[in-house]
Amino acid sequence: MSAQEYKAPESVGRLEKRALVVGVLGLVVSIVGWITKPEDFFRSYLVAFLLVLGLSLGSLGLLMLLHLTGGQWGILIRRPLESATRVLWLVFAFFLPIPLFGMKFLYAAWLDAPKTGEGALSPLQQSYLTRGGFVFRGFVYFAIWLALMLLLNAMSRQQDVDREDRALRRRLKFFAGPGIILYVFAMTFAAIDWSMSLSPHWASTIYGFLFVAGQAISAMSLMIIMVILFSHAEPFAHIIQKRHLHDLGKLLFTFNMLWAYFSFSQLLIIWSGNQPEEITFYKSRLFGGWGAVAALVLVLHFFIPFFALLSRDVKRNQAVLPKIAMWLIAMRCLDLFWLTRPEFTSRALPTLWDFAAVLALGGIWLWFFAVQLKQQPLLPLGEPKLAEAIANHEH
């Protein structure tokens, strides 16, 4: 088969246009928010930024996992994953307003903390949580992720040209192992900087993993939606089979359980320890209005997708599975909202800016993603196991 046959179907072009329209509309409202209510707006912006960061980084993580394990499940989504990682440049641009304009609205808790006396941070924290350190580390995280992204994309493109070069396959694997460690390490520190430091007196060692697991959910959900979108047109209508959906559905199910497991582990340890400095996180999130949001996260993010995805028929259903995937991306917004917002307000309701920022960043992200999808054939033609992965043997 030639590369021409696997180019992005027309639906990707439609996605590109619609996403841009939504993104620009969101951006217009966002700019109004930025000017009129910068304090409220940046709280919303943080949620939206963490969401689109998850789409790109989750794809980077899944891509490296795929190179490491070499499973057939990922060959079909390898190119969409690579396209999503290339949007990381845009996510980096989305990061810049936070250190440039948003820090005083978001991180006042440690920027303006007293140096001594009541409420003072420890000397270590005072030396770590500084404006310069925050900006410098932010650039380091993105440097790590962008380097991994460029490396993996370059080798994958090379594989399309030198189809017989088996050493490339080994080299991809060789970089993917340390790459996953670097990604998780950088994400742990990034989660501390960007989200955990909203409440600088509270700390949790599993916090970074909450984000890593959430990013895997976001990315896998997006991949399921894309696979179904491709499957509406030839040649993908004949390539994508129920067994592919079954594999992706099982992984989505697993990641959702992993996220629930990490989230609950944190609660169980803090609940059992019952230390005054630790329980603050849940005191502001499990009672009152935020308690209701917590219950929603538990039921809507975990229980409903869990029981739906338990069924084999649902995982193989091309009408239902993408709906669950879209639902889970929406639930990622809810979870990020619940993780960050209670540090600012006890009012557990979203603002107009929440919707505007998510639509702006999400729309522009999707637009750039669609642009990236068009650049390469949608199947990795140099992948040795490609023929096996798309062979039609449905049972």
Partner 1 sequence: MNLPHPELYGLLGEFDSPERLMDAAKKIREAGYRRIDAFVPFPVEGLSQALGLGRKHDLVPLLTLIGGLGGGLTGFFFQVWVNMSSYPMNIAGRPLNSWPAFIPVTFELTVLGGSLFAVFGMLALNKLPQPHHPLFNVERFKRASNDKFFLCIEAHDPKFHLEETARLLQSVNAQHVTEVRDED
Question: Residues in the site for partner 1, rule: CB under 8 A?
Answer: 264, 267-268, 271-272, 274, 310, 312, 395
Toward partner 1, which CB reaches closer, 82 or 247? 247
Single out the residue of 79, 4, 64, 49 nearest to residue 370, CA to CA.
Answer: 79
Distance from CA of residue 62 to its chain's centroid? Answer: 11
Task: Extract the tokens encoding 13.
Answer: 């072009």
Q: Provide the minimum distance between the beta carbon of 109 and partner 1 in the complex, in angstroms, as a whole number.
A: 27
Single out the residue of 317, 159, 312 nearest to residue 231, CA to CA.
Answer: 317
Q: Provide the minimum distance between the beta carbon of 393 and partner 1 in the complex, in angstroms, as a whole number.
A: 9
Toward partner 1, which CB reaches closer, 115 or 395? 395
What is the DSSP secondary structure assignment for residue 300, as one 8-state letter? Answer: I
Q: Provide the minimum distance between the beta carbon of 8 and partner 1 in the complex, in angstroms, as a whole number.
A: 35
Distances (CA, A) of 198 to 13, 27, 46, 202, 377: 39, 25, 11, 9, 43
Toward partner 1, which CB reaches closer, 312 or 385? 312
The 10 Å Cβ neighbour count of residue 136 is 11
Question: Buried b vs exposed e over 318-329: b needs ≥16 C-beta within 10 Å?
Answer: bebbbebbebbb
Toward partner 1, which CB reaches closer, 237 or 268? 268
Toward partner 1, which CB reaches closer, 197 or 263? 263
Q: Provide the minimum distance between the beta carbon of 311 and partner 1 in the complex, in angstroms, as a whole number.
A: 8
Radius of gyration of the chain (CA): 21
Q: Provide the minimum distance between the beta carbon of 262 and partner 1 in the complex, in angstroms, as a whole number.
A: 14
Please report, in angstroms and rounded to a whole number, the separation of the first and last CA atoms in the chain. Answer: 25
Would you say 75 and 240 are in contact if contact means Cβ atoms under 8 Å apart?
no
Toward partner 1, which CB reaches closer, 29 or 270? 270
Q: Provide the minimum distance between the beta carbon of 268 and partner 1 in the complex, in angstroms, as a whole number.
A: 5
Toward partner 1, which CB reaches closer, 4 or 274? 274
How far apart are alpha carbons 226 and 81 in whole angstroms?
A: 10
Q: Provide the minimum distance between the beta carbon of 272 and partner 1 in the complex, in angstroms, as a whole number.
A: 7
